[in-house]
Structure 1
Amino acid sequence: MENESAIAALGALAQNTRLDSFRLLLRHEPDGLAAGEIARRLDVPQNTMSAHLAILARAGLVRSERHSRSIVYRADLDGLRGLMLFLIKDCCAGNAELCAPLLAELAPCC
């Protein structure tokens, strides 16, 4: 991942509704949620939610798929993985023992 991509992803997440949307989609992997359902759960107007989801998609953090009349959104786990690896790439100057607590904290999630 390049700096520009990381900045776009971090910028997309640097807004309350988008961060809440992304975290909601992470909780609903692998099935995802329809855009209207995301808007309903977060109490956000649907047109506003669509704009937020578009920003997350352009940043490589969500993917969409049309299912009949609705669009289902899913967290893009490859995009998240790329961002996380970019952030910790040079962690602790290569001293694995210093990174161990961080990695141990991340490991139980999945």
Structure 2
Amino acid sequence: MDSEQATKIFESLASGIRLDVWRLLVQAGLSGRVAGELAAELALAPNTLSFHLKGMVHAGLLSVTQEGRFLRYRANLPVMLLLIGYLTEECCAGHPQTCGIPSKLGCLPEQTDTTT
């Protein structure tokens, strides 16, 4: 990950609504949620939610698949782990293992490479 991609992700999350969407999709795991469920959960108009989802998909934070007439969104957890790796790779003079950074973050397996 480079600074341009990291900036794009941070800009994408610079909204309370988008942070709430992100957290709901992380909670949903691999099954994700359809847009209507997200709108109902967050008490948002569908067009408002659609605007935010589009920005998050564009930044690479979400993936979307068509299921009939519904769109299912999923959090792109590997991208978030790459962002965390990017933010911490220079920790403790380039030796993050000495800073106490956990090798496992959440529900994903150990991350072995953060240098993409």
TM-score normalised over the length of structure 1: 0.89
Deviation at 1:108?
Answer: 6.2
The 5 Å alignment of 1:14-29 reads 14-29=14-29
User: Mind listing any 5+ residue stretches in structure 2 that lack a counterpart?
Assistant: 108-116
For 2:13, the equivalent position in structure 1 comes to 13
Deviation at 1:85?
Answer: 1.1
Deviation at 1:78?
Answer: 2.0
The 5 Å alignment of 1:26-45 reads 26-45=26-45
User: Mind listing any 5+ residue stretches in structure 1 that lack a counterpart?
Assistant: none
* Seq. identity, %: 36
What secondary structure does 1:72 align onto? strand
What secondary structure does 1:71 align onto? strand
Deviation at 1:92?
Answer: 1.6
The 5 Å alignment of 1:1-110 reads 1-95=1-95, 96-97=97-98, 99-100=99-100, 102-103=101-102, 107=104, 109-110=106-107
Deviation at 1:103?
Answer: 1.8
**What is the distance in 2 between the residues matched to 1:69 and 1:85?**
37
**What is the distance in 2 between the residues matched to 1:47 and 1:90?**
41
**What is the distance in 2 between the residues matched to 1:4 and 1:19?**
20
- Return the letter of the residue paired with 1:84: I
CA RMSD across the alignment: 1.4
Count of aligned pairs = 106
What secondary structure does 1:18 align onto? helix
- Return the letter of the residue paired with 1:20: D
TM-score normalised over the length of structure 2: 0.85
The list of structure 1 runs, each at least 4 consecutive aligned residues, that deviate by more than 6 angstroms after superposition, is: none
1:23-52 per-residue CA deviation (whole Å, 9 max, x = no partner) reads 100000110000111011011110010110
**What is the distance in 1 between the residues matched to 2:91 and 2:57?**
27
